[in-house]
Amino acid sequence: MPPVPQASSILASLGQAAFLWDLTADTIAWSDNAGVVFTDIPAEALVSGAGFARLIEPSRSIRNEALAQSAPARGNEGVAYRIEYGVRAAASAPVIWIEETGCWFAGPDGKPVRAQGIVRQQRASRPRRTAHAAFEK
């Protein structure tokens, strides 16, 4: 049996990237292949939650809202969420539609301190939802 490839190469072959978002420090670490998903988006725009939010349409706060509106955390378990949104580097650039599936983890106060997940571009044949987020509870 051949060796298992690195996770980032598997994700890249699927058109996906992984992230780890430290909400306390507001830093986002991406898998090496984030450029596969975020074509034409400068890497420096993806390093913080605030920077990334400036690229999101129609609601720049959709990621934070997903964490706040999902089910409460239970112990050390992650809380799942799924959202869809558009991103673009500039007003004149085309929108890249993204599906984000992840889970967040709470700090001692029960509020989100870390989120992790997978992002992928929406398939062209899939209908676009611009103002709705879907939450798994």
Residue 43 lies in a domain: yes
CATH number for the domain spanning 70: value is: 3.30.450.310
Least confident of 4-13, 79-88, 122-131: 122-131
Q: What is the pLDDT of residues 21-74, one digit of tens each?
A: 999 999 999 998 898 899 889 999 999 999 999 999 888 888 888 888 877 777
Question: What pLDDT does 4 receive?
Answer: 61
Calculate the CA 81 to chain-centre distance: 10
Is 87 a domain residue?
A: yes
- For residue 64, the enclosing domain spans 7-121
Dump pLDDT digits (tens) for 73-126: 777 788 999 999 999 988 888 899 999 999 999 888 888 999 999 999 986 534
Q: Which residues contact 112 (CB under 8 A, 6 or more apart)?
A: 23, 67, 68, 73, 79, 104, 105, 106
104 vs 68: CA distance, rounded Å? 10
Helix, strand, coil tally for the chain in percent (to 5): 20, 30, 50
Q: Is residue 115 part of a domain?
A: yes
Whether 131 is in a domain gets the answer no
Residue 2 maps to a domain? no
The model carries a pTM of 0.81
Whether 130 is covered by a domain: the verdict is no
The percent of residues above 90 in pLDDT, for the chain, comes to: 43
Domain-located, residue 117: yes
Provide the number of structural domains found in the chain. Answer: 1
Asked whether residue 44 is domain-assigned, the answer is yes
| C-alpha span between 10 and 7 (Å, rounded) | 5
